[in-house]
Structure 1
Amino acid sequence: MSLLTMFDLEKKFTSFYTDCVKLSDQEINSLREKKRINIDRLRDGLSEYNDENNAEYKIMEIIEQGSVAMRTVTQHDQKEYDIDVAVVFDSSNIPDDTKKVKSFIEDALQRKCKQFKASPKAKTNAVTLEYASGYHIDFAIYRRTLNFYDSSFEYEHCGSEWRSRDPKAINKWFKEENDGSDKNVRRVVRLLKMFCKSNPGWLMPGGLVQSILVAERIQIRDRLDEMFFETIKSIKERLDYNKEILNPVTGQSILYNKKDEQKVKNLCSRLGSGIEKLSVLFNDNCTEDNAMNAWKNFFNHKFWGEDIQKSFSENAMLEARNEELLRLTALVNMGTGDSYPLGEFEGRLPKGCSIYFQVDPLVPYTKVEWIVHNYGDEAEGDLYHKKEGRTVVEHTKYRGNHTMTCKVYEGGRVLAQKVIPVNIR
């Protein structure tokens, strides 16, 4: 095998893509049904708001956006699917104050979404509706103005200020790029998103940035594994000398702040590390096991094999013993006044929650210690801290897979301990 030849794992790589990356049409349709239901809730809530406030706000268009519209959403989200919807009003029928606009949309949704554990919340670029199971819907708000010269509409997005942006233009651009690549841009974008989400603690750019980079640097090959590798290598080389990301429709930067810029730097750095992990694929003596392990290290996905836990039985015995010695409670408050068991969220929480931990040791003890480990880019300096007492309260500040460890002591000896995963998206 030549040093320039990549180990051929095409069949397994394609199976990975088909079985573990690409979302089925049935699941895509399910996401769209959730979108439809919540659009109806918004319309009904807005009607109530108008009646009570002597207003006449009227939705003129609903436009699907983002990964669902472009069909780049992946399975690796583990039900943490983003559904993006553009809600368009006429510019003559909506306030200039962007905070006021998001406020009445938030109010309208809250009227019809009282069954949710978290109230709809106005954020900088959208009003977000969270499902406890991981779904969330972003209602991005737009206003349109009729251009009398050609009878077309000009659109502006409601963020920290009104910015010119056509919600249909990106969808059209992506379709043209994907069609021009014989549908390969979409496939590579899905795979790149899998990599970017392989560690929940990473602070990585969103799907639009990834789509722009893939469309710009796509390297067409017959084999999907080769095409993906050559494309991410080309993206890495591009980012080494130019980390600016421009909207392909307007030509304006979509990196609005230092955090956006840092996400692109992180992508560049982690692609470099990932490509290095795949270098074994070009060795003369590379075996299938070597290749499988390389892709496992790259994607961090169980499809490529799971490590054998040699101490499984010991861990199981220890866990059973811990259950006999302590009783642990973890309740989540999402700002609504009600609390819910952490287990109901399947370990996936939004930011801005409070978690109430309590332990009831079932044996005599002298001290209870709680140890917080924060993992991920957002935590930065706040990676580790301790507290004492039977009850503690923590807040979901940082995105990532974190842990809370409870240790019960008798003197200097640990009687029992339990590790609770706290995964924040």
Structure 2
Amino acid sequence: MFDCAKDVRAYHDQDVTLPKSEQDAMRDRRNSNRTRLRKGLSDAGKPAPIEFVKQGSYAMKTMVRDADNDYDIDDGVYFRKEGLVGDRGAEMTALQARQMVRDAVDEGKFKRAPEVRSNCVRVFYEKGYHVDLPVYRRVTTSTVFGDESHYELAASSGWKRSDARDVSDWYEDERARSADGVQLRRINRDLKKYARSRYSWRGGILSGFGITVLTTERFRVSDREDRALYDTMVAIRDRLNWNLQVAHPVTPGDYITSGTDDAKARCFREKLTEAIDTLAPLFDADCTREKALKSWDKVFATTFFSERLEEEQRASVAAPAIIGSAALLSATAAAASAVSSAGGGRHA
């Protein structure tokens, strides 16, 4: 396979992963949203959250750049079960808890009002991104061994046992068990970027979480970044050829996909096959750097790779001129030095 390892790594670092400035901005949005929610709950005489827990790709650090700022920041808000009671003292339903959070976070200044969704409250921002607030309650029971606690999500089906931290912990465990947890996260981001590289694919392809699960399951480490990405693509495609179901990693019996012929998993498999076929020329004995980089451009629907080649070519053309100028200056300086050393000059 023609070596484009440095190019694939550069693409990740420059066009895939979020720059620090964007990460800082997301943290600021999250924190301002938390402040807004606390104030809204306090003003309404509602219970205060016991904690907030970042989750999803935001917590796992697998978010990728998006030209439309279509970022989903997940920030779980947790309450004590005892505090979630209605006006008449009855226990709040899952829907009532989500409505309470929606009302508290809506200060009336949003262009689009926050909405109650099936498993969260969504806060929209004009720039295109949104913050999702899943609502949890901590349930504490007394046993002969002492108090025991678990967490439940305010889901569309009611209160469902769940805790976002379990997913984040699972991902870190998978990275720790892998041959290279840092590279795994980079390849994870690359595959999510690929799945979002065409606007027409969105909505019809496997979710980012599904891609994350498959990446941890079939990751292929390599000392070459391009081989790691390619080999992982092939491994995932082959896995989906025999089984399109993707099980939830921490919730027994739950699946990220729907049924044995999930359309979104099938779509991801088809797109991986397209990418693998597009990269076939890199295995030809006569493959050139230009041909290889154009293939990677086609995979990610970008011009990043070809532009790197153009920059290299411009630099190679400029280099002889720079070297020539430097040599001329050096020769001129040497001649002047020689005359000076010999005591030369018309008035010596």
TM-score by length of 2: 0.79
Residues 368-393 of structure 1: CA distance to partner in whole angstroms, max 9, x if unpaired? xxxxxxxxxxxxxxxxxxxxxxxxxx
How many angstroms does 1:14 deviate by?
Answer: 1.3
Find 1:166's aligned residue among 158, 163, 166: 163
Find 1:82's aligned residue among 72, 76, 81: 72
2:154 maps to a residue whose letter is: C
Residues 105-153 of structure 1: CA distance to partner in whole angstroms, max 9, x if unpaired? 111111x2x3221110111121111111112100011112125346442
How many angstroms does 1:99 deviate by?
Answer: 2.0
1:108 aligns with 2:104: yes
1:136 aligns with 2:130: yes
Q: Partner of 1:283 in structure 2?
A: 284
How many angstroms does 1:16 deviate by?
Answer: 0.8
Distance 1:97 1:256 in 2: 27
Look at both structures and tell me which one has the larger radius of gyration over its CA atoms. 2
**Worse overlay, 34-43 or 288-297:** 288-297
Could you say if the C-alpha distance between residues 150 and 220 of structure 1 is closer, same or farther in structure 2, counting changes exceeding 3 Å?
farther
1:41 aligns with 2:36: yes
Q: Partner of 1:93 in structure 2?
A: 83
The answer (yes or no) to whether the contact 1:178–1:184 under 8 Å persists in 2 is no
Which structure 1 segments of 5+ residues have no match?
1-5, 51-55, 307-425
RMSD, matched Cα: 2.0
Could you say if the C-alpha distance between residues 109 and 216 of structure 1 is closer, same or farther in structure 2, counting changes exceeding 3 Å?
same
TM-score by length of 1: 0.65
Distance 1:70 1:26 in 2: 18
1:301 aligns with 2:287: no
How many angstroms does 1:256 deviate by?
Answer: 6.5
Runs (4 or more) in structure 1 with deviation over 6 Å come to none
How many angstroms does 1:27 deviate by?
Answer: 2.0
1:89 maps to a residue whose letter is: F
- Percentage of matched positions with identical amino acids: 30
Structure 2 residue matching 1:201: 3-state secondary structure: helix
Distance 1:66 1:103 in 2: 22
The answer (yes or no) to whether the contact 1:245–1:253 under 8 Å persists in 2 is no
Find 1:125's aligned residue among 119, 129, 136: 119
Could you say if the C-alpha distance between residues 234 and 290 of structure 1 is closer, same or farther in structure 2, counting changes exceeding 3 Å?
same
Distance 1:152 1:28 in 2: 36
2:192 maps to a residue whose letter is: K
Distance 2:151 2:194 in 1: 33
The answer (yes or no) to whether the contact 2:245–2:257 under 8 Å persists in 1 is no
The answer (yes or no) to whether the contact 1:102–1:127 under 8 Å persists in 2 is yes
Could you say if the C-alpha distance between residues 256 and 150 of structure 1 is closer, same or farther in structure 2, counting changes exceeding 3 Å?
farther
How many angstroms does 1:92 deviate by?
Answer: 2.5
**Worse overlay, 64-73 or 261-270:** 261-270
Which structure 2 segments of 5+ residues have no match?
85-90, 308-348
Could you say if the C-alpha distance between residues 151 and 217 of structure 1 is closer, same or farther in structure 2, counting changes exceeding 3 Å?
farther
Could you say if the C-alpha distance between residues 276 and 151 of structure 1 is closer, same or farther in structure 2, counting changes exceeding 3 Å?
farther
The answer (yes or no) to whether the contact 2:210–2:256 under 8 Å persists in 1 is no
How many angstroms does 1:21 deviate by?
Answer: 1.1
How many angstroms does 1:255 deviate by?
Answer: 3.0
Structure 1 residue matching 2:39: 3-state secondary structure: helix
Distance 1:305 1:232 in 2: 22
1:107-256 → structure 2 map (5 Å cutoff): 107-110=103-106, 112=107, 114-148=108-142, 149=145, 151-161=147-157, 162-181=159-178, 182=180, 183-202=182-201, 203-255=204-256
How many angstroms does 1:77 deviate by?
Answer: 5.0
1:318-337 → structure 2 map (5 Å cutoff): none
2:266 maps to a residue whose letter is: K
Distance 1:256 1:160 in 2: 18
Could you say if the C-alpha distance between residues 133 and 302 of structure 1 is closer, same or farther in structure 2, counting changes exceeding 3 Å?
farther
Q: Partner of 1:18 in structure 2?
A: 13
Structure number with higher helix proportion: 2
Considering Cα pairs closer than 8 Å and 6+ residues apart, tell me whether 1 or 2 has the greater RCO.
2
The answer (yes or no) to whether the contact 1:255–1:261 under 8 Å persists in 2 is no
How many pairs does the alignment contain? 294
Distance 2:73 2:103 in 1: 20
Distance 2:40 2:206 in 1: 33
Residues 181-212 of structure 1: CA distance to partner in whole angstroms, max 9, x if unpaired? 32222111100011011012212222221111
